[in-house]
Structure 1
Amino acid sequence: MSNTLEGKVVLVTGASSGIGRATALALSKAGARVAVGARRADRLQSLTQDAPGEMLALELDVTDRQSVQDAVAATVERFGALDVLVNNAGVMLSGPILGADTTEWTRMVETNLLGSMYAVHAALPHLLRSRGAVVQISSTSGRAASAASGVYAATKFGVTAFSEALRQEVTAQGVRVVVIEPGFVATELTSHLTDPAMQAAAKNMAESMRTLQAEDIAGAVVYALTQPEHVAVNEILIRPTDQTR
Structure 2
Amino acid sequence: MARTLLITGASSGIGAATARAAAAEGWNVALLARSQDKLAALAEELGEAALPLTADVADFGTLETAVARTVDRFGGLHAAFANAGLGVDRPGTEGGDPEEWRRVVDTNVMGVLHTAKAALPELRKTRGHLLLTGSAAGRRHVKGSVYSATKWFVHGYGGNMSEEMREWGGRCTVISPGMVDTPFFDEAKPDKLQPEDVAGAVMFALNQDQRAEVREVFIMPTY
Deviation at 1:118, TM superposition (A): 0.5
Residue number in structure 2 paired with 1:217: 198
Residue number in structure 1 paired with 2:124: 128
Structure 2: distance between partners of 1:117 and 1:241: 32
Residue number in structure 2 paired with 1:105: 101
Q: Which amino acid aligns with 1:212?
A: L
Residue number in structure 1 paired with 2:220: 239
Q: Is the aligned partner of 1:31 residue 2:26?
A: yes
Deviation at 1:174, TM superposition (A): 1.1
TM-score (norm 1): 0.87
Q: Any idea what SS the aligned residue of 1:62 has?
A: coil
Deviation at 1:53, TM superposition (A): 5.3
Q: Which runs of 4+ in 1 moved over 6 A?
A: none
Deviation at 1:172, TM superposition (A): 2.9
Alignment of 1:143-162 (within 5 A): 143-147=139-143, 150-162=145-157
Deviation at 1:180, TM superposition (A): 0.7
Assess if the C-alpha contact under 8 Å between 1:13 and 1:37 holds in 2.
Answer: yes
Q: Any idea what SS the aligned residue of 2:107 has?
A: helix
Structure 2: where are the runs of 5+ without partners? Answer: none
Structure 1: distance between partners of 2:40 and 2:109: 27
RMSD (Å), alpha carbons: 1.5
Q: How many residues are matched?
A: 222
Q: Is the aligned partner of 1:63 residue 2:44?
A: no
Assess if the C-alpha contact under 8 Å between 2:192 and 2:221 holds in 1.
Answer: yes
Deviation at 1:42, TM superposition (A): 1.2
Q: Any idea what SS the aligned residue of 2:57 has?
A: coil
Structure 1: where are the runs of 5+ without partners? Answer: 1-5, 192-202
Structure 2: distance between partners of 1:237 and 1:53: 32
TM-score (norm 2): 0.95
Alignment of 1:64-213 (within 5 A): 64-93=59-88, 95-147=91-143, 150-191=145-186, 203=187, 206=189, 210-213=191-194
Assess if the C-alpha contact under 8 Å between 2:92 and 2:146 holds in 1.
Answer: no
